[in-house]
């Protein structure tokens, strides 16, 4: 099992040219600071509920909401992302963070992985080699995070993903966002006007307040699909791809489709073009065809 030590060298490489995943509250703060926020949308064909012991599928389900495209059942993952080119607007000339005390969870977690099925590989990170020298503070022992703040931030991020999935569905409906890429291929990045996004975020956060006491245990005991069955009928998404084969299979499954390079609203991002891979799910890559073949024979979702 993997043991790793890590010490930040303050090189600033992890603060350059990224799309940083944000919670709803963090996105509201980012907008308040005068910066841009995007909604990165990907859709997963979901013809049937997977086996209960399929942990990767359970992870995808927790961070998504039910929808459909035509008669193709979906789970849609939406990631709010801080968008900037070049250096982070909060990175000072001395390569120190100007908002360090309230920096996003993803910044507190780096270079660890948020995704529970990804292994931390130092060579895949932007940190200089000396950051990983033995004798630096312990980060992993036997493959597990042992640094307390990082561990707490990962748990908080995963809980926010679960808690906010339904709120993101409301956010998309309020903003008219209904176009997504196929998981494993890319994302559709939507950038609503800041005033409209700020208003929609405030409304979503206020609507969450009465149910804030709902526990993860209660959510786990809920029968699959119970919370979002009604919403799924009203959430009809258009799916885009750069793959002719994917579009053909989506069309055969009854989905609303279109080419990725002819978007009226939003921009298509190939998976490899999203530096921080904020919503990517590596297990999905290459698995679309089987899901679509299963969906092609499935009945239409209830309306």
Looking at the predicted structure, is the pLDDT value of residue 296 above 50? no
Cis peptide before 111 (omega within 30 of 0): yes
pLDDT digits (tens, 9 = 90+) for 236-266: 999 999 999 999 999 999 999 999 988 888 8
CB contact set of 101 (below 8 Å; sequence gap of 6+):
none
Looking at the predicted structure, is the pLDDT value of residue 207 above 90? no
**φ/ψ (deg, to 5) at 298:** -85, 150
pLDDT digits (tens, 9 = 90+) for 81-126: 998 989 999 999 988 999 999 999 999 999 999 999 999 999 999 9
User: Could you tell me which residues are beta bridge partners of residue 39?
Assistant: 80, 190
Local confidence band at 6 (pLDDT 50, 70, 90 cut-offs): very high
Distance, in Å, from the CA atom of 77 to the CA atom of 68, rounded to the nearest integer, reads 13
Looking at the predicted structure, is the pLDDT value of residue 137 above 90? yes
pLDDT digits (tens, 9 = 90+) for 179-190: 999 999 999 999
């Amino acid at each position: 099992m993997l043991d790793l030590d890590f010490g930040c060298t303050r090189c600033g490489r992890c603060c350059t040219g990224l799309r940083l995943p944000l919670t709803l509250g963090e996105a509201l703060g980012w907008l308040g600071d005068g910066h841009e926020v995007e909604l990165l949308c990907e859709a997963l064909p979901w013809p049937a509920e997977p086996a209960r012991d399929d942990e990767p599928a359970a992870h995808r389900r927790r961070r998504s909401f039910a929808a459909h495209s035509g008669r193709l059942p979906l789970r849609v993952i939406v990631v709010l992302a801080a968008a900037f080119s070049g250096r982070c607007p909060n990175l000072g000339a001395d390569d120190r963070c100007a908002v360090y005390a309230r920096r996003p969870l993803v910044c507190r977690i780096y270079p660890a992985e948020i995704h529970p099925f990804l292994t931390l590989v130092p060579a895949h990170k932007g940190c200089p080699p000396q950051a990983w020298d033995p004798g630096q503070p312990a980060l992993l022992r036997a493959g597990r995070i042992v640094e307390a703040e990082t561990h707490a931030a990962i748990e908080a991020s995963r809980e926010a993903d679960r808690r906010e999935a339904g709120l993101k569905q409301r956010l998309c409906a309020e903003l008219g966002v209904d176009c997504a890429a196929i998981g494993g291929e890319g994302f559709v990045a939507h950038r609503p006007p800041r005033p409209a996004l700020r208003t929609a975020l405030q409304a979503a956060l206020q609507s969450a307040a009465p149910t804030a006491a709902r526990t993860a245990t209660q959510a786990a005991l809920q029968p699959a699909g119970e919370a979002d069955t009604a919403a799924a009928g009203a959430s009809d998404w258009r799916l885009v791809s750069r793959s002719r084969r994917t579009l053909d299979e989506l069309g055969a499954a009854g989905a609303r489709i279109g080419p990725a390079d002819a978007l009226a609203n939003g921009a298509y991002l190939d998976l490899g073009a999203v530096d921080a891979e904020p919503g990517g799910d590596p297990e999905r890559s290459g698995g679309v065809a089987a899901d679509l073949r299963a969906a092609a024979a499935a009945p239409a979702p209830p309306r």
